[in-house]
Structures are given as structure tokens and as C-alpha cells.
Structure 1
Amino acid sequence: MYHLVKSVYANLTKQEEYSVLIMGLDNAGKTTLLEQLKFRYKVGGEQATVDLSGARLVPTVGQNVARIQVNKVNLKIWDVGGQESLRNMWESYYEDAHVVVFVVDSTDRARIEECRDTLDKVVSSDVLEGTPVLMLANKQDRDDCLEVEDIKEIFNKIAEKMSARDSRVLPVCALDGTGVVEAAEWIISRLLRNKNYRPPNLV
């Protein structure tokens, strides 16, 4: 009897949770973005601000995982390594993803086409059909960065593949948090809009 009551209680108290998949080439700023989100949206806590310009964050080998709450919506965020040797592992995360956040290093002009081709491969996956895609043009604080409009033009070639889903390009600076709140709010609005098509997990 005790175990039955415990099981019923556990099911009744489960909460909805959405999985956010952060991807991009290595050194794009994915882990810095995750750290910024962790500081700003602590589960059950208030927003905080943080300057990560002096932080030493090592490249992700494998994955980083964090749970946060934005506007009372629970998120499980996966930050996956962007080195070329690790990208073939990305597909193992697609099935559970409710939204894709693709981070672009706006200063890495030499690899901007590689970045475009990588995103092209991601959005071409049938597993991610209908999944919202947010592209973040990171490092917009740098004088040598590409403007958001220039980045949009470069990525226009794959825009038709995202026409059937919610997608957006937003400028951010992960180091000081500029644009992070706007990005988080866009994510939440699309997750809730897409809830019937890609329902949350119960945890």
C-alpha cells in the first residue's frame, strides 16, 4: 500500500521540463552562454547579473548540463562540444530536444561558411522537423564582428529549410549577458507555442 501511495504521489507531483540543445562550432561561446543563463536564472531564485569577461572557461569535451527556470518554465539545457570530432555525436541529442540554440562566433570570419554548413546539416535532420531554432550571433561587442544583417545574409541559403518552423537570429554578448534575457524569453515563447507538437517531459 505504501509503495502504491508513493507511486501515485510521485506521478502527481511531476513537473514539466523542456530540453534546450545549445550547439555551434568550438569557441563560439556556448559554455559562456550556459554559465550566463545559470547565473541569471537560478531555479526558484531571482535574476542575477554576472560579468564573465575575466572567467577562464575550458572548451567542452562531451557535454555540460544545467537546469534553470525561466518565467516558471523548467529547462534542462545541454551544451555540447563543438569540435569537429564531436559533431557526429550531436544527433544523439536531437530526439529529446524541444528547441535548438545555435551559437555563431560573429568574429570568426574564416569559419563562417563552415558554421553555415554545420547548421544546414542540423536543420536538415528529419528528427528535428518542427523544432524551433534560435541562432545567436555572439561576440557582438567586438569591433571586428560581423553585423547581424551580414550573418543573416550568409545564412539565407538555408532559410528555406526553416520556413516551416519558428526561427530567429538575435545578437548577444555572452560575456556580459547582453541579449541573453531576450534570447531566453524567445525560447520560452516558442516552447509554449510548440507544446502540442513537441510536449514537455515529466520529471
Structure 2
Amino acid sequence: MFSLLWGFWQYLFTKAEVHLLIIGLDYAGKTTLLEQLKTMFGKKAGIPLDKIPPTVGLNIAKVDIARTNVIFWDLGGQERLRAIWSKYYSESHGIVFVIDSADEERFEEAKTALCTFIRAPQGLNFLSRHA
């Protein structure tokens, strides 16, 4: 009986926790995406879009979405910081790779960064559809 009540208690009051990693080139819009998510789902508005500084290192935000605590790790995209991305892969439940579709001059650089990320062996799990 206790285990039934304990399970019900956990269902009512315990939230699942999910870690999502946001990566991409510098100035791609990673922090802008994060601040928009905070505004949409958070209790307080995120930073105004015209006040968002470049990320040096890491931004962390927790947002409650559908009874789940979603922890976002927004990593800086400068070339010198991309080496640390792989340190977060194994702790992440999902990864969002952000590309600035208006910055055509950096498409090749974004492609290279994405391919480097995909080839990394550190704990990546991919969902794919086979035809």
C-alpha cells in the first residue's frame, strides 16, 4: 500500500528533468532562442532581444514545460569554445543545433561545425528514420 501511495505522490509532485544542449556558430541566435523559450514558457520574460550579449562560456536556464523541468545549456559558438561542446553530450537528452539562415556566408562553416559534432563519439544517440 505504501508503494502505491508513494508512486501516486511522486506522480503528483515530482517533475521529470530533461537537459537540452543548444549549440551552433557564434551569432547564430542560440541565446535569442533560449530567451524566447523563457518568455514563452517561463514565469518571467527573458532578456529583451536588443540586450542579449554574445555568450562567452555557458548560459543555463530552467523552464517548466508540460510537467517537465527542462534545463537548457546554451554554449558559446566561438571557434575556440566549440571544443568544450563534447563535454556536455553525455549529460544531454537532446541537442538543438542553431543555424542563422540569413547568414549565407557562414553556411559552410556551420556545416563543418555540424559535421564535427555529428562525428563526435562521446555519448551521442541519434534517432533516425530509415527508408
Give the alignment's TM-score, normalised by structure 2.
Answer: 0.79
Task: Give the alignment partner of residue 105 of structure 1, picking from 94, 100, 115.
Answer: 100
Task: Give the alignment partner of residue 89 of structure 2, picking from 69, 94, 98.
Answer: 94
**Letter matched to residue 90 of structure 2:** E
SS in structure 2 opposite 1:121? helix
User: 4+ runs of 1 displaced by more than 3 Å?
Assistant: 12-15, 48-53
Q: Which has the higher contact order (CA 8 A, sep 6+)?
A: 2
SS in structure 2 opposite 1:127? coil
SS in structure 1 opposite 2:61? strand
Distance 1:62 1:50 in 2: 19
Task: Give the alignment partner of residue 61 of structure 2, picking from 58, 66, 85.
Answer: 66
Using the aligned pairs only, state the percent identity: 39
Distance 2:40 2:98 in 1: 18
Unaligned runs of 5+ in 2: 1-9
The within-5 A match list for 1:7-156 is 15-42=15-42, 52-53=48-49, 55-131=50-126
Q: Shift of residue 72 of structure 1? A: 1.6
Per-residue CA deviations over 1:26-73 (Å, capped at 9, x if unaligned) read 00010111111111112xx5xx888945x2211000000000011222
Q: Shift of residue 16 of structure 1? A: 2.2
**Count of paired positions:** 118
